[in-house]
Amino acid sequence: MRIVVALGGNALLRRHEALTAENQRTNVRRAADALAGLVRAGHQIVVTHGNGPQVGLLALQAAAGPADGAYPLDILGAESEGMIGYLIEQELAALLPGRDIATLLTQVKVARDDPAFAAPTKPIGPVYDEATADRLAAERGWRVAPDGDGWRRVVASPKPLEILESRVVSMLVDHDVIVICGGGGGIPVIARAHGGLIGVEAVIDKDFASELLARQLGADMLLLLTDVDGVYAGFGTDRARRIDRISGGELSPESFPAGSMRPKIAAAASFAKTTGGDAAIGRLEDAVAIVAGDKGTRITG
């Protein structure tokens, strides 16, 4: 099968873990092991990944430098795509000697008038306590919001409309290349008034961009890997139960609490309903078993 595999942020950095190169490489090595299992099982994979902590760190580093050294989020997103893709590519190559692997910087078209620009919701960067978040917001003109048991900077997250390099990705996959792309949801760009493209200050949701990429590539499956073993009905209650299988039409993202799982559920349901194919959500280490239908939650068309 041709599978778009979306790695959750935990594949690169666990919550409250220091943003060191060593920690990221250790986590990427674990992710690469799961990805290699899918390749050995005979699947063609296209890998996407998050970048929230990394792009936030790059923004902090840029802000700490000279006043003219600050870069907009689209350029920082491109930097993080290259950095994370490099780590994934290197660790995957160690497990799959002889396989061709490529990291592709990916531009994603968004609408200039997307309402998300007026209402930032996408968390990036480190987790702070409330007092620190409020101080940084005042000093740097940030918007901040609660995220789990802490606070984080939030930025605009417009809807992805088109993966501009999808034809290149498809050509590479047709030639048996494992492609790493769409990092952090891709680099958000808009059309210039007089032709061409230009980046915008935003971060695209990785799950929505992965779903769009899967549709544009004609993928057989969208696989969303995270740190939980599936989608739970009644999550947070004593009657919580994992959903083994459900159709995209039966799955209502709005019935799940806002947070990291809702975008995954929305993306999975959209892919299943739009294409008639399957999507699946589950733990990183269960990737092969999830595709086989033995673990995780399967969302059908």
Report residue 256: phi and psi, to 5°. -105, 145
Instruction: Kindly list the distances between the CA atom of residue 76 and the CA atoms of 14, 47, 73, 187, 190, in Å, as whole numbers in the listed order.
Output: 21, 20, 5, 9, 16
Q: Which two tokens stand for residue 25?
A: 């490489």
The DSSP secondary structure of 106-171, one letter per residue, reads -EEE--TT-GGGGS--EEEEEEE-HHHHHHHHHHHT-EEEEETTEEEEEE--PPP-EETTHHHHHH
122 catalytically annotated: yes
Q: Which two tokens stand for residue 219?
A: 């993928």
Which residue is catalytic, options 125, 248, 264, 277?
A: 264
Provide the β-strand partners of residue 46. 4, 179
Report the distance separating Cα 114 and Cα 84, nearest Å.
28
Q: Which two tokens stand for residue 256?
A: 């799940």
Which residue is catalytic, options 8, 122, 186, 248?
A: 122
Report the distance separating Cα 93 and Cα 84, nearest Å.
14
206 catalytically annotated: yes
Q: What angle do CA 119, 124, 127 make, to 5 degrees?
A: 115
Which residue is catalytic, options 8, 9, 184, 230?
A: 9
With CA atoms as reference, report the closest residue to 3 among 277, 301, 296: 277
Which residue is catalytic, options 8, 10, 77, 184?
A: 10
264 catalytically annotated: yes
Looking at residue 37, the DSSP 8-state letter turns out to be H
Which residue is catalytic, options 52, 56, 182, 206?
A: 206
Instruction: Kindly list the distances between the CA atom of residue 224 and the CA atoms of 59, 144, 230, 241, 253, in Å, as whole numbers in the listed order.
Output: 27, 27, 10, 19, 15
CB 165 within 8 A of CB 181: yes
Question: Which residues are known to be catalytic?
Answer: 9-10, 122, 206, 264
